Amino acid sequence: MAAKEDLYAKVTPRRQRQNRPNTIKHGSTLDVLLSMGFPRTRALKALVSTGGKNVQAACDWLFSHLDDPFLDEPLPREYVLYLRPSGPLLQQLTHFWKQSRLTCGKNKAHNIFPHITLCQFFMCADEKVEALTDALQTTVAKWKGRIPMPLPLELYISSSFIGLFVEEQMAEVLKSFAADFATEATSKADVHVEPHKKQLHVTMAYHFNASHLPVLEKLAKSIEVTAGCDWLAVLLSRDIRFANHEPLQVMYPYVPQNDDELELLQGDFIFMSPVEQSTASEGWLYGTSLGTGLSGLLPENYVSRADESDTWVVHGSHSFLNCASPSTSGSPMGGLLFDGQLNDSLLDSLMDPSSLTGFLPPMQVSRATAHSSSSKMRLFVCRHGERMDVVFGKHWVTQCFDSKGGYIRSNLNMPCSLPSRSGGYRDYEKDCPITVFGSTQARLVGEALLESHTTIDFVYCSPSLRCIQTAQHIFQGLQLEAKTKIRVEPGLFEWTKWVSGTSLPAWIPPADLVAANLSVDTTYKPHYPLSKLTVSESYDTYISRSFQVTREILTECKSLGSTVLIVAHASSLEACTRQIQGLSPQNSKDFVQVVRKIPYLGFCACEELGETGVWQLVDPPILPLTHGPNHSFNWREMLMQD
């Protein structure tokens, strides 16, 4: 077994050494890092975390992880051995990935590129990784020419799974190869590898909506399973710290405004654990950066969901036809994985913006034609403005009311006054108002609608005060205060599962809202009576309720006007628009992912296609509204320090 000092003697990728005679000599990569003064454990960790790419990549990793609290922890990484296709078969599978994602949204199979699993995940210490990669190369060399290509595959389709299964006799051959690798890995790297014992297959789709089966089945049957292919043995690793974490990719850079926030660099990946989200308020996430190892709060609309394998590192990719290097002929994606990172061709194919339909906010899914007819019936759905309890914390009520129930303003972003409530000020705990800035946000949207010459014929609101106040300030911007009344519709309230406690909020009755100078229609009879709302309703009940109410609102207004505005919650932008387009509801997990990315005053637009009753999402008539956090400033604490 190689000594620790020799484990990275050949860390530079072999393909580079063969094709470039002047590349770094054996042993020099680790030696250079040690000569620069880096501790051996850190140097090894940097090399492993970058796939042994080169000195520069390792140095960049080390400098970016200087504050990583786990930098000196001897944590092993998890490794796995896959077979991945190349050539014409990969092209067809990639096309299936893109089309299935475009038409049916993301399913579990999209988390990892097309592959056959040869072994279970196993752990390997950093100082053993070079020996592990040698074990793989030795095993592939032994099996060169013994595995016929292409592999015999058979398409299997069920109600919840679609895949390509390896013919049984050939599957036993591949399992023998995996067993040989396990033996070699134990001998050279002293690690335990468990070969995959289940049927070998390529998973194409699973955990998908049952209504998508006909489309997925049609796409799957178009794949020619006998297409030319060289299967490459690929050794990959992932950071063990982030098992069961959801990977997110940073879309926009973000500079922290407070000490507990995380700096975001575009393109970096963030690992998020649902367990850690209790420390984050609405609109924020708590996560750990792959690029720095640091953790903190981050705005959720700055990130998008990523695939699991996007964050993995490759430590070797070997062809059974040519053991010297991975096959790159016959396909623009032949070099799918190499030098510790995913090949750009695969990313271009699998992560094309058009393939992200399944988890983009609804208003980004479709684009309207350049000249939409103004006579078409339109539906706008808008989220409420910034809410008091998110900005000032859930205990804001006890801080802003005295013992007699008198309201006390302690910040410029708090409203000057609040409507009185028959049940007392404690009712504000479940039915909070919007902030002054929330009012400004709403008025800006109204002014933008006015400038775009958009008319609003009817306005429907959730019974939440924050939604009604938002609609009122949109009216102000639109100069509609004296012309249009708000119709309070209980059926537009958010998913009641998200309400804390055992009872629904005690909403302010329409007559009391009018007394507080809010333009509410006291004669309106709701489509979904308040008495029908229940605490902790199921997801299916919420989605059905939202669809039913939206459809009845559109039917009610069809002969009376052309434009309807719904002011409700973040979830409403998805729940009120998806099914009127003829689409099936998303599963609850994907639904939550969409909702979390919708900001205050998030705004989407739908347009009816002629008189068909079918709707499509189109470009809103106004620009989006973006704003950043602004922490509280106390001059005594900041400027009067000793």
Integer Cα distance of 454 and 618 in angstroms = 15
Q: Tokens 């009817």 correspond to what residue?
A: 458
State the catalytic residue, choosing from 196, 569, 578, 596. Answer: 569
> In this structure, what token pair is assigned to residue 476?
């102000």
Judge whether 611 and 558 are in contact, CB under 8 Å: no
Judge whether 602 and 442 are in contact, CB under 8 Å: no
Integer Cα distance of 258 and 256 in angstroms = 6
Query: Is 383 an active-site residue?
Result: yes
Q: Cα-Cα-Cα-Cα dihedral of 589, 105, 298, 390, to 10°?
A: -50
Burial status of residue 128 (CB atoms within 10 A of its CB: 0-12, 13-18, 19 or more): buried
Q: Which residues contact 346 (CB under 8 A, 6 or more apart)?
A: 94, 113, 333, 336, 337
Q: What is the 3-state secondary structure (H, E, C) of 482-506?
A: CCCCEEECHHHCCCHHHCCCCCCCC
Integer Cα distance of 251 and 631 in angstroms = 23
**DSSP summary character for residue 315:** E
Q: What φ, ψ does residue 608 adopt, rounded to 5°?
A: -75, 140
Q: What φ, ψ does residue 580 adopt, rounded to 5°?
A: -70, -15
The C-alpha R_g of the chain, in whole angstroms, comes to 29
Kindly give the pairing relationship between strand 458-461 and strand 341-342: unpaired
Query: Is 115 an active-site residue?
Result: no
Integer Cα distance of 359 and 590 in angstroms = 7
Judge whether 357 and 405 are in contact, CB under 8 Å: no
Let me know how long the chain is.
642
State the amino acid at position 217 in one-letter form. E
Integer Cα distance of 423 and 126 in angstroms = 63
Integer Cα distance of 613 and 636 in angstroms = 61
Query: Is 466 an active-site residue?
Result: no
Judge whether 118 and 178 are in contact, CB under 8 Å: yes
Among candidates 500, 499, 505, 486, which has minimal Cα distance to 542?
A: 499
Integer Cα distance of 479 and 514 in angstroms = 18
Q: What φ, ψ does residue 572 adopt, rounded to 5°?
A: -70, -30
Neighbour count for residue 548 (Cβ, 10 Å): 14
Which residue spans within 207-345 are E strands per DSSP? 232-238, 246-250, 269-272, 284-289, 295-299, 303-305, 313-319, 337-338, 341-342
* Strand, coil or helix: 617: strand
State the catalytic residue, choosing from 383, 421, 527, 596. Answer: 383
| Ramachandran region, residue 260 (left: φ > 0; alpha: ψ -120 to 50; beta: rest) | alpha
State the catalytic residue, choosing from 65, 315, 318, 384. Answer: 384
Catalytic residues: 383-384, 569
